[in-house]
Amino acid sequence: MSKDINTEDINEKEEINPDETAPEKAEDEKDSKPDKKEKRKEKKQDSEIDKLKKELADKDDKFLRLAAEYDNFRKRSAKEKSDIYASSKSDVINEILPIIDNFERAAQNSEADFDGYKKGIELIFNQFLAVLKKFGVESFGEEGEEFDPSMHSAVMVVEDDSLGENVIAQVFSKGYRLGDKIIREAVVKVANT
Q: Among the listed ranges 42-46, 110-114, 169-173, 183-187, which one has the minimum average pLDDT value?
A: 42-46
Q: Please say if the pLDDT value at position 29 is more than 90.
A: no
Q: How many whole angstroms from its chain centre is CA 22?
A: 79
What confidence score (pLDDT) does residue 53 get?
A: 93
- Give the integer Cα–Cα distance in Å for 109 and 137: 31
Question: What is the predicted pLDDT for the residue at 93?
Answer: 94
User: What integer pLDDT is reported at residue 192 of this predicted model?
Assistant: 81
pTM comes to: 0.57
pLDDT, mean of residues 36-50: 83
CATH homologous superfamily of 138-193 equals: Head domain of nucleotide exchange factor GrpE (2.30.22.10)
Please give the Cα distance from 53 to 22 (Å, whole number).
46
Closest CA to 96 of 138, 127, 136: 127
